[in-house]
Chain A
């Protein structure tokens, strides 16, 4: 067969493109992709934007240090608008386009929806924005993890603090009427009883509630020593606190992780002074203790970064550490191996992001500390030691 010039050129082009293709495949082979269904718009956008920044910064640090055993790490994500159907669509799209073994999900609803698929494929482990107590069950959710204490454990930390500070204190639980809000009510009541604390009032506010005058009236009747909010980011807590203070109540108000960002409370002003809550990570500006990772964060981000950033940063750290342990053991990147690697983390130094060396015996990292907002400094200041509720 005579080869024409055109055929030769075609063959060369084909060979070149094949070569390029092989090169691309090889490049992909040396890459660990973390997938993400991130809420960059919608009701949880404030968290999604911060989480993405935190994950990207940690990934940059890892890559600048040479990656993991020669693998570079990349975050592949898309916006979900904090809608479960969109999160699932993003998951399907990303997992069909990329070889993903680590994933960040945006909500409890998504984590629960996608859990059977994680179990079926056995390809990956998933962390995310949800601290739902239900997810902290390795039997039911074998490939899921929570980068901090679950919501019940957060309440446990607060209740242990209260029991230590004011034995026998009376408590009001104020929760939003959402899956998020209702999560820790039952276990919190059991824990309070165990600690000799008296739950004198339970308030459930409708989703999106603005005016809380009626609820403040209930609070005035019960006059609890502490009121613990859960299921909110900011509103309606400031109005609650403001009205209660004006009515002369001495109640101390507390919250959980997603309502603990100090920049949110700085905007509230004097009414926010004394607001307390549980925080699993150190704040951007924390100077106490040995925290070299915080110093690096401050180098990368000269301006304050929110609590969501820390959550994203630690999520990426736990994912990368799990992948590293799997690669070091020469094992295949499967959900089971990655989860076993995650559970092998014991007394792990997070560089000070969390105040104690951490272990991940199950699905959560049950460590936190109580902080209190100082309006004059515009900062959350620690008022307890780090508390582990393992």
Chain B
């Protein structure tokens, strides 16, 4: 095991993720997510839709960062195109900028320096580049992105719904098992896209309801989480 990846996966690493529920708050407010079984079903769906998309973006960023100082803009734009909801683009860029401040100190290098040209790069791009700095594989970077997705939502579900933390821990362990083949397929797709130099080859799965709820959440007057 690579100990540096534990640091990068640790929720205590300053990365701005605490302000986001990964869609849990909008579902919980509407009674669409009430119990830990709902959380598991929700996150299995996220892994198979938007999860693979962000995992592949992180894996691609990890592979690109290994080449020195890549031209990030087309890969960052690919995340934009795969995120129909403006609220979710803002959330991803906000968390990317926050993580970039941390990783610029923790894993400095030419790839991270080049990311500053984007001003507010998307979160999976920064995460993948940081993972490369921590000697991760593309599969590791994809798994980190999925871990971030499920971990943030699970923490938010405990806070919002008062779910049993032990039940939620079991859910997150089950999701980690489900994430393994998705991380592998995301990394494989990322290798193909990076080898071809074509971000259009990255997976593009998403969920329309997730996007609609993110837009509704942004326009709601009182929420605990930004997204």
Do A and B belong to a common assembly? no
Using a CB–CB cutoff of 8 Å, the interface residues on chain B facing chain A are: none
Chain A residues close to B by CB (< 8 Å): none
